[in-house]
Copies of this chain bind each other. A is one copy, B any other.
Amino acid sequence: MARALSGSPSEPCVATLSNLHPDRLFPADPGVRGIARGLYAQIRDLPIISPHGHTDPAWFAANEAFGNAADLLLTPDHYLFRMLVSQGVSLDDLGVPRADGSRPDGDPREWWRTFAAHYSLFAATPSRMWLDWVFEEVFELRETLSAANADAFYDVIGEKLAQPAFRPRALFERFNIELLATTESPLDDLRHHQAIRDSGWKGRVVTAYRPDPVVDPEFAGFADNVARLGELAGEDTSTWKGYLAAHRARRAFFMAAGATSTDHGHPTCRTADLSAAEAERLFRRVLEPGVAAEDAELFRAQMLTEMAAMSLDDGLVMQIHPGSCRNHSAWVYDRYGRDKGFDIPMRTDYVQALRPLLGRHGMDPRLDIILFTLDESAYSRELAPLAGAYPCLKLGPAWWFHDSPNGMRRFRDLTTETAGFFNTVGFNDDTRAFLSIPARHDVARRVDCAFLAGLVAEHRLPEDEAHSIAKSLAYDLPKQAYKLEATAC
């Protein structure tokens, strides 16, 4: 598999060594492939709209050089180290920080070598496709990473990262990103977003309101977080009324920093529609130590409905990301903390779970909710029928483990005939891995074009409509769904 390092990427003969075939992800049938190529050619260069993700706004505020290959590409990416752990590599040997923030002994170059030696594990996974793109398109490294060339990759990446053209803002511009949304806690002061705006840089980086730390009674430090929320908002969050007012204030603060959406990462999609008095009593209970699991769940449920009510007024689009069993391994959580690859999808109900919220606000034209799932069995059974009826509901793209070529195909296969294309919202990259953003959007565009090409080839969709839909999926729908035109930022 080892191939000679290419000299110049512009030489045509070099293309044959690339891991990035121009027809990748297009259907094998020559006729359908031709249609897919035509569709893709029209949209491949559209600007990137990234309305949901987890990049660090500090990068764009400070615009400092990224570090080395391991710190940039490996250590923060739970897709990568979960696979290595599954094959017996320890998190320590990959440089993953401990729960207390300390780094294991060791050298980033060694961590990188360990990763490189296991690169074949990623065959046919999206991580492989994203990384190959980053290596080749960002760093001009056309070989397949392996133990043999680990050091060469490490050195080249390190050298490039030190150059001005590889600083965050330069890459943002090179990637043709029109808008990038991050997610922050209501307790965040958004200073990085402020710094970006103050800097005069024209890159558009906005925030999103992710209130889990202050709406989930089982979140570490919940009561303290609620108190801190009150301080920041100038409200008395020891009362239900003050607590709600504090949310409203922080939402307004986030909107001033460009936010057009909220984001809710609950274990389930359960919602509730309690009376004000019931909700107030519940709020008092969840602030006490030792909250009951059912109370915690009910409070999260009620807060989704409260957040929907606030959206009626301020217009923020709600995103609901339910169904992850977080920190499945207590052993890993105790040693390494959250987000270490041990979040496992669970069966998720939407039909009964959403009924209280939808019963209260579901037909209100001011409400917009984008639903995600980790349970693909819900696509055709629950999500497409719900989104194909309620005016407030739209379907987020294939998420997390399903954000992959086959996962995206299943999403379109299972939702399109009931919900159509226009109850979906285009692509989210949902990533911390900044360098992979163009690769992820490119995969989504290719897969959508391949899906559309199949419809055209089977005479189920006129080719002119397919072109129009391809553009909508890549660009128009995310802007509309996330109300990005209307932002004054």
Contacts and interface: CB of A to CB of B under 8 A. Distances in A.
Interface of A: 1, 19, 21, 23-32, 82-83, 85-88, 120-126, 129, 144, 325, 328-332, 341-347, 349, 351-352, 355, 358-359, 362-363, 365, 374-377, 380-382, 384-391, 393, 401-402, 404-407, 410, 413-414, 416-423, 454-455, 457-462, 464-465, 469
A381 B375 contact: yes
Given A123-B465, A331-B359, A405-B460, 11 more contacts: A24-B459, A25-B458, A27-B28, A85-B391, A86-B393, A122-B420, A123-B461, A124-B417, A329-B390, A376-B380, A404-B417
Contacts of A325: 351-352
A381 B377 contact: yes
Given A28-B457, A28-B458, A416 B358 contact: no
Given A123-B465, A462-B1, A32 B28 contact: yes
B388 A359 contact: no
Contact of A387 (B21, B86, B375): B86
25 contacts: A1-B465, A24-B459, A26-B458, A27-B28, A28-B454, A86-B423, A87-B423, A88-B365, A124-B417, A124-B455, A328-B358, A328-B386, A329-B362, A342-B389, A344-B386, A345-B351, A345-B382, A346-B381, A376-B381, A377-B377, A377-B381, A401-B417, A404-B417, A404-B418, A405-B460
A380 B126 CA distance: 14
A454 B406 CA distance: 12
Contacts of A144: 462
B405 A417 contact: yes
Nearest to A421: B123
B381 A83 contact: no
B32 A123 contact: no
B462 A389 contact: no
A346 B377 CA distance: 11
